[in-house]
């Protein structure tokens, strides 16, 4: 009798497939093309905060994350990641993101395994436990380069930054410059961006109470997580060098 062993995969999974034929110039206008998504995500973000609080109370009293709230919150993060992959967080595809919370055949995806039970006591301290991760995420996501300057009014009179770039945004812009000049997206840069985003979304899933597993301190660069790649290698070793 032959038996098979199931190889566990990460409970939080973020993936993205780099388009081999990206436009040289389209990335210059993607921020404008994605405005409808930004508007929708602004409202979804508010709903996400509310449903996370409600889910936290449910976990505190029952040890379970209400499945409809879980699916909604994972869907919001999935939508956010698809838009990020399209424009500001990776620019890995020219395919316009769909307006849906559900999984699709889009080249970027995010998913979280539903936990049957969650720790009731961890609900109260996850933000504190995640502090080291949150510091790292803040350093990556905080604006470090501002543009352009506008005149403020009232108490804030004077020149004020209209916006800014974070480390993540700057890396994506560097990728865009490579595209513009060479028509090529450096694979090493894409892998780095994927690793950074994977780290960010694992932390988001943890502080949003979606899972109890503490996020690992690693990038997991590339289109797949290290667990997924390792599983595929065991299943088909001839396909890997």
Q: Give the separation between CA 51 and CA 224, rounded to whole angstroms.
A: 29
What phi and psi values does residue 35 have, to the nearest 5 degrees?
Answer: -55, -45
Q: Which helix (H) or strand (E) holds 30?
A: helix 30-33
The yes-or-no verdict on residue 190 having pLDDT over 90 is: yes
Mean pLDDT of all residues in 132-154? 69
Q: What is the pLDDT of residue 69?
A: 97
In this structure, what token pair is assigned to residue 5? 């062993």
Contact 117, 63 (CB under 8 A): yes
Nearest Cα to Cα of residue 19 among 220, 187, 197: 187
In this structure, what token pair is assigned to residue 2? 């032959």
The yes-or-no verdict on residue 4 having pLDDT over 90 is: no
φ/ψ region of 119 (left if φ > 0, alpha if ψ in -120 to 50, else beta) reads beta
Q: What is the mean pLDDT of the chain?
A: 84
Q: pLDDT band at residue 223, thresholds of 50, 70 and 90?
A: low
Mean pLDDT of all residues in 20-28? 93
Q: What is the pLDDT of residue 155?
A: 52
Mean pLDDT of all residues in 137-160? 58
How does DSSP classify residue 117? -
- Three-class DSSP category at 14: strand
Q: What is the pLDDT of residue 226?
A: 52
Bridge partners, residue 161, by sequence: 149
Q: What is the pLDDT of residue 161?
A: 47
Contact 121, 128 (CB under 8 A): no
How does DSSP classify residue 20? T
**pTM for the whole thing?**
0.82
For residue range 75-130, list pLDDT tens digits in order.
999 999 999 999 999 999 999 999 999 999 999 999 999 999 999 999 999 999 99
Burial class of residue 181, CB neighbours in 10 A (0-12, 13-18, 19+): exposed
């Amino acid at each position: 009798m032959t038996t098979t062993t199931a190889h566990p995969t990460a409970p939080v999974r973020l993936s993205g497939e780099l388009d081999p034929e990206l436009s040289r110039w389209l990335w210059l206008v993607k921020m404008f093309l994605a405005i409808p998504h930004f508007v929708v995500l602004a409202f979804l973000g508010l709903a996400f905060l509310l449903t996370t609080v409600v889910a936290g109370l449910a976990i505190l009293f029952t040890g379970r994350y209400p499945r409809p709230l879980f699916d909604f919150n994972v869907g919001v993060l999935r939508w956010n990641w698809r838009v990020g992959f399209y424009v500001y967080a990776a620019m890995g595809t020219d395919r316009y993101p769909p307006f849906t919370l559900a999984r699709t055949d889009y080249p970027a995806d995010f998913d979280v395994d539903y936990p049957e039970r969650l720790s009731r006591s961890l609900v109260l301290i996850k933000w504190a436990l995640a502090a080291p991760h949150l510091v790292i995420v803040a350093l990556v996501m905080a604006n470090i380069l501002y543009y352009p300057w506008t005149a403020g009014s009232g108490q804030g009179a004077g020149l004020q930054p209209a916006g800014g770039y974070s480390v993540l945004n700057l890396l994506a812009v560097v990728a865009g410059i490579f595209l513009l000049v060479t028509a090529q997206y450096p694979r090493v840069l894409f892998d780095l961006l994927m690793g950074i985003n994977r780290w960010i979304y694992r932390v988001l899933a943890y502080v949003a109470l979606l899972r109890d597993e503490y996020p690992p301190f690693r990038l997991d660069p590339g289109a797949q997580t290290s667990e997924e790649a390792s599983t595929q290698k065991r299943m088909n070793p001839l396909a890997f060098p």
